[in-house]
Structure 1
């Protein structure tokens, strides 16, 4: 096959070759005309002038060929970078129907560069092939869906050629921003198909796919939040103007005193205006500073329901190697005084909302991930839905069983059908929550057969892939993928 460089350069080089031949013919004609002149000195002058003109013309033609080759080479580098991807490159790849995805890809690349990522390269999906993806280490996709689940026009060749192949990508880590409109039946259809294909090739998600419903600003802020974590910088301002509401910090207490881990602080925040609303599974975005300050928000899973009268959080106190506290956790657990006003806003997280029916729920999580699971349990108990199973992992049973008394009460009343616990630091052998999934595989299959949904909340690193692998082992890869497609396998991991 002819390479892209040759396909681009040959037509232009052919034109240059024709011009070279014409130039040579002109030189011969000049020379022949010169011999026809009887005066030797005049003929010699004409021949000299003819030869000089022809030489100049030949030089011009050679320059034209060289310039053609350089332009063809440059065009190739700008459209296909397979084989030229360096280990520390972060690729931002877009597929856009109306230009929105391309514009967001540009913002994504700018945000990464501003956040300290040294090498960021932005490409259209039309210029991406299997070899490029197989050689890449980190890729962020920004893709839209058109019509009823179709890929944008500029992604047609990629879908036809590349997504029909098996392309091992064990070293690829990816993030995916999927744009769609829930008014269509196949919401974010292409984004979901791309996510499924990448996972099937062995690629590892940096975080769960962020789905944007008709330009939802909350979802875009969540994407930007993930970018700040990826870039290691927390200084980027929100893309969308913040509209924080005034709430009051009314209570905080450490739940794991004596734990070998960092403090886990239970925080209670009450609204200053009536009408605050959220659902189990939603996220709160906290402004780590006085309202009006220009600081990036921090996200936390909500551990309560509106009937509780307040938003409750479980915040792990973060301390950087230099001793400085984490931006969000430092504000919520120490710097903002009890009784002070702080700014927050609720972000709907429909992908982690509970099923509308009475189907069983299997809740799996670790650490402060118990917060999002607790909200679901409180909502289910309030609704009289008691087919609930919690699998939870932490460091020690003596110090890290967060909300332990509440869980034991639900279990005694039959409002929690089953409670399985794992503690990594307890002797003789530490265990993790994914081990619980493996140990209970038979029961897991029974609950799934009865229509149960699996909800996972907690650490993206370690816990989430471990649980996913355990589920695949217990249920089978095809069954797990079908649960994902049906919306019965959902995750809020960070």
Structure 2
């Protein structure tokens, strides 16, 4: 399949438009011959003539703009013949144009993070181009009853039937669809399965979007932001946060070789606890440390108690700056008024954390590790939650449904695999199963040191002794002996895993995307075989919440 458009694609519309114009001119000439003498009892005024001319010019200009915009997008969809080897390809397959718009936003976010981007329409990719890619993200829609978009049909018919080796490709898929249709996001899943079967490695799991759901798009943007240099970019659509209060914060691993991890307890300030399901996500609106805000205000020469308009609310300049990305501090004195400064700011992007509790606990629990940037400063979200926010302080928070990680039916055995703060989502699942009186639960957990990093040890050991956890397998990589990780604990129980899978068990993996998740995936394939793992994925029996 050619990677450039055929000449007929550009000539056909031009010929069609030319024929239409000639037909209109001929019609005008014929109608003009029907009149004799003056065509009207009074000539139109000059003003009306000017108005008519202006309308014609405006129409011509608008038509030209649309044609230019279409050609720009068409050129953007063409793969460059000299694409950089380290470029991230942003590939779209769109039926109505929405996938194309999201691909444009994705490309902009990546460029903002310092990534070299190459744009292409899926219809312009062939096997040679695909095999030459190292990283690619696909934004694809589904049309009709699970069909690919019309422009992607050539790729589906000519490229996908080929036997390719894509072992050098890392990829991600944003699948657009509508849950009212039986085959929700079918083409996205078809493309994802095809890429996996041919050896490509996922950068992160497929993200489904139901009817332009903004929370799913924020989740996609969150993952996309991690492919670059860590530069924060405002959310495409800001979450509608609710007000929560930080009730308690406890460091779980003082003296650990890793970063400090904290157990956080939050409650809604309105006093009414919302409903959520084990596996759901907390979206947090982070804030800058108050000391940093005050230092920025001193550099700006403005008063923090000045009242400004920020995102449709009235608040102090200090409060607005705490929630926003600032312009360069070197340029801060150039803003003559508080409102001018605020207008130059953008909202801080949200951060996501797995919920570690169920509503029956009476509060929302999180398990968060304090992350550090390259310069030693704390991470934006974890710094706010673990260091800057004080108990009793208000936290902007929204619970996002995460149906791909929701629990199975009560009668289904459940295997939970995770490391580090990935225990959060697994802990919620065990709590939900315990609340439902279900005991066919098996947890495999890994961390650094048992003496320091065995998060919620008393709780887990009690659950095991009471039979809530039928099995509990642990791996601590920095204890005496050879480094042993959670995938090694899984491999040691290969026979039990096969038995549980044969009995219908569902596998849940939560934790690090960079190390644990691919190693666990490789171990599962070693134990069960690639075909069995792919079958589990297709049946919804292998689910991941990795970051």
Structure 2 length normalisation: TM-score?
Answer: 0.75
Task: Kindly name which structure, 1 or 2, has the bigger radius of gyration based on alpha carbons.
Answer: 1
Higher relative contact order (CA 8 A, sep 6+): 2
Query: How many angstroms apart in 2 are the aligned matches of 1:203 and 1:158?
Result: 17
**1:351-366 map, 5 Å:** 351-366=404-419
2:91 paired residue number: 93
Contact 2:273 2:363 in 1 (8 A): no
Are residues 5 and 412 of structure 1, via their aligned partners in 2, closer, same or farther at CA, if it must alter by over 3 Å?
closer
Q: Which whole-Å deviations, capped at 9, do the CAs of 1:342-399 have from their partners, x for residues lacking one?
A: 1010111000000133210000000100000000000000000110000111101111
SS at match of 2:227: helix
Contact 1:166 1:201 in 2 (8 A): yes
Q: Which whole-Å deviations, capped at 9, do the CAs of 1:34-82 have from their partners, x for residues lacking one?
A: xxxxxxxxxxxxxxxxxxxxxxxxxxxxxxxxxxxxxxxx999866537
> 1:113 deviation in Å?
1.4
Contact 2:281 2:399 in 1 (8 A): yes
Are residues 241 and 461 of structure 1, via their aligned partners in 2, closer, same or farther at CA, if it must alter by over 3 Å?
closer
Query: How many angstroms apart in 2 are the aligned matches of 1:77 and 1:95?
Result: 15
> 1:7 deviation in Å?
6.1
2:427 paired residue number: 374
User: Structure 1 residue 144 and structure 2 residue 197: aligned?
Assistant: no
SS at match of 1:356: coil
**1:30-429 map, 5 Å:** 80-81=78-79, 84-117=82-115, 119-273=116-270, 274-289=272-287, 293=323, 294-429=347-482
2:525 paired residue number: 472
1:65 paired residue number: none
**1:451-462 map, 5 Å:** 451-462=504-515
> 1:272 deviation in Å?
1.1
RMSD across aligned positions (CA): 2.1
Number of paired residues?
Answer: 430
Structure 2 residue ranges without an equivalent (≥5): 12-71, 289-318, 324-346
Instruction: Tell me whether 164-173 or 417-426 shows the greater mean CA deviation.
Output: 164-173
Contact 2:173 2:188 in 1 (8 A): yes
Structure 1 residue ranges without an equivalent (≥5): 13-73
2:539 paired residue number: 486
Contact 2:251 2:260 in 1 (8 A): yes
> 1:173 deviation in Å?
1.1
Query: How many angstroms apart in 2 are the aligned matches of 1:447 and 1:242?
Result: 40
SS at match of 2:442: strand
Are residues 243 and 5 of structure 1, via their aligned partners in 2, closer, same or farther at CA, if it must alter by over 3 Å?
closer
Query: How many angstroms apart in 2 are the aligned matches of 1:79 and 1:325?
Result: 39
Instruction: Tell me whether 270-279 or 280-289 shows the greater mean CA deviation.
Output: 270-279
Query: How many angstroms apart in 2 are the aligned matches of 1:342 and 1:79?
Result: 42
Are residues 93 and 382 of structure 1, via their aligned partners in 2, closer, same or farther at CA, if it must alter by over 3 Å?
same
Query: How many angstroms apart in 1 are the aligned matches of 2:171 and 2:435?
Result: 39
Structure 1 length normalisation: TM-score?
Answer: 0.83
> 1:332 deviation in Å?
0.4
Q: Which whole-Å deviations, capped at 9, do the CAs of 1:67-102 have from their partners, x for residues lacking one?
A: xxxxxxx99986653763321211110001111111
